[in-house]
C-alpha cells in the first residue's frame, strides 16, 4: 500500500489550516506557498475536503478555508480514506463483504485481514491535533 500525493498533501493542507486558521480563513495561495504545493492541486484537494464537510470555504478577497470542527475531532484515517479510498491492502477486503470465491480456503486471507486491521487502527489513533502538535514542536 502506498499513500499518493493526494493523501499526503491533504494531511499537510489540513494541518496548515489548523495551525494558521485559528484567527480566520486560510487562503490556498498562502497554504500552497508554505507547503510547496501548487495552488491548482490544493484546489482539487480542498474541494474534496469541503464537499465531505471537513472544511468550510468562503469566496472573496478575505475568504479561504477553515476547519468545520476542532482538530481533535479529525481522525487521520478519515482524511486518508476520503482522499485515497479504502486503505485495504488487497482487493478482496475493500468495501463490505468479502466476495472472493477463495475466501474460505485462502491461506493468506488472515494475514491480509490482520494487516488491514493494523493499518486501520494506526491511522485512526492519530488526529489532526497530533499533527499540529508535531509541527509546533518542530518549529521550536
pLDDT digits (tens, 9 = 90+) for 7-46: 999 999 999 999 999 878 999 999 999 999 999 999 999 9
Instruction: Report which of residues 20 and 62 the model is more confident about.
Output: 20
Beta strands in the chain (DSSP E): 55-58, 64-67
DSSP secondary structure code for residue 102 in this structure = T
User: The dihedral of CA 18, 21, 27, 33: what is its sign?
Assistant: negative
Mean pLDDT for all residues in the chain: 93
From CA 43, how far away is CA 95, in angstroms rounded?
A: 28
Regarding pTM above 0.95, the answer is no
For residue 97, pLDDT over 80 is answered with no
pLDDT(95) > 90: no
What does the alpha-carbon distance between residue 72 and residue 130 come to, in Å, rounded to a whole number? 8
Higher pLDDT, residue 23 or 82 = 82
Q: Which residue has the higher pLDDT, 133 or 93?
A: 133
Characterise 100 by phi-psi region: left (phi > 0), alpha (psi -120 to 50), beta (else): beta
Cell of 115: 494487516
CA 78/CA 80 separation, integer angstroms: 6
Average pLDDT over residues 92-121: 86
Specify the pLDDT at position 5. 97
Amino acid at each position: 500500500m502506498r499513500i499518493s500525493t493526494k493523501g499526503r498533501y491533504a494531511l499537510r493542507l489540513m494541518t496548515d489550516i489548523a495551525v494558521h486558521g485559528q484567527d480566520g480563513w486560510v487562503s490556498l495561495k498562502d497554504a500552497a506557498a508554505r507547503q510547496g504545493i501548487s495552488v491548482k492541486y490544493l484546489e482539487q484537494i480542498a474541494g474534496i475536503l469541503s464537499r465531505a464537510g471537513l472544511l468550510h470555504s468562503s469566496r472573496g478577497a478575505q475568504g479561504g478555508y477553515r476547519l468545520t470542527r476542532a482538530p481533535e475531532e479529525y481522525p487521520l484515517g478519515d482524511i486518508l480514506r476520503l482522499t485515497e479510498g479504502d486503505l485495504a491492502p488487497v482487493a478482496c477486503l475493500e468495501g463490505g463483504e468479502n466476495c472472493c470465491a477463495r475466501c474460505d480456503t485462502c491461506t493468506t486471507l488472515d494475514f491480509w485481514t490482520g494487516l488491514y486491521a493494523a493499518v486501520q487502527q494506526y491511522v485512526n489513533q492519530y488526529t489532526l491535533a497530533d499533527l499540529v502538535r508535531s509541527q509546533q514542536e518542530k518549529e521550536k
